[in-house]
Structure 1
């Protein structure tokens, strides 16, 4: 899929893409964080058929639902100089099947990784118990083998290793 990016002076940046069926969609990213979703009229890329305005937070939520991939953010200054252990941050996205479920349900699915903390709303819960209930927006701080961290990341999104 090709995405066209066009600077919009005084506004921000506009992105346009075409679906496999030929429908033109756009996203206008305003400098203040607002996002406008735009559907263009069929066969006329200059005519807006419909638009929807989202706040920055709403846009993030929709993006997580459309592309439910947990990104592994490595915490480089905490990692050892060894390939056998890594420390990473794993977000609980809006699409996660574990939103509202206890941590025990997630960690039981993957061996070789430990949840050492959960960050929620800027507060850190160190060594959370297995009864800790996960919520969308939480960030799990985990340590373990890189492959196990990747497996846990996939489980957080897909409910399977």
Structure 2
């Protein structure tokens, strides 16, 4: 797939792509963080058929819905004995099967991982209980072996828990 990037002086940057069905879609990234999702008219890539304006937060949520990926952000200054233990930040994306489910359900299939904190809306809950209900946008602070942290990260984004 090819994505074209075009600078838009005084506005920001525009991106366009062609779908496999021949539709032309675009995103206009304004300098203030606003995003416009654009659908161009069939056969006329200069005519906007429809557009939707998203705030920066809405654009982030939409991106998570369209592409939930397992991302592990290691907290390197907290890691000790790299071979034995890692500490990582694991986001709960909007499309997570554990959005609205308990922490116990999320960690049930992982070995040797403890969630030592949950960050929600800028507030940190340390030592959350197993009954703590997760929500998209939460960031889990997990400690454990690298394999277990990877398993938990993947579980948070898969649609079949």
TM-score using structure 1 length:
0.94
Runs of 4 or more above 6 Å deviation:
none
- CA–CA distance in structure 2, aligned partners of residues 57 and 113 of structure 1: 30
Q: Is 1:23 matched with 2:20?
A: no
Structure 2 match to 1:98 = 98
- Structure-2-length-normalised TM-score: 0.94
Deviation for aligned residue 1:61: 1.0
Q: Please, what is the CA RMSD of the aligned residues?
A: 1.4
> Residues 86 and 143 of structure 1 are in contact (CA less than 8 Å); yes or no, is this contact kept in structure 2?
yes
What CA distance in whole angstroms lies between the structure 2 residues aligned with 1:61 and 1:113?
27
Question: What is the alpha-carbon distance in structure 1 between the residues aligned to residue 150 and residue 160 of structure 2?
Answer: 12
Contact kept, 8 Å, 2:119 with 2:140, in 1: the verdict is yes
Deviations 1:29-69 (A, max 9, x none): 11111110001111221111111111111111111111111
Partners of 1:4 and 1:145 in 2: CA distance: 41
Are the counterparts in 2 of residues 33 and 55 from structure 1 also a CA contact under 8 Å? Answer: yes
Matches of residues 11-160 of structure 1 in structure 2 within 5 Å? 11-158=11-158
**Retained in 1: the 8 A contact 2:95–2:159?**
no
Q: In 2, distance between residues paired with 1:83 and 1:12?
A: 44
Aligned partner of residue 106 in structure 1, secondary structure = helix
What's the CA shift for 1:149? 1.1
Gaps of 5+ in 2: none
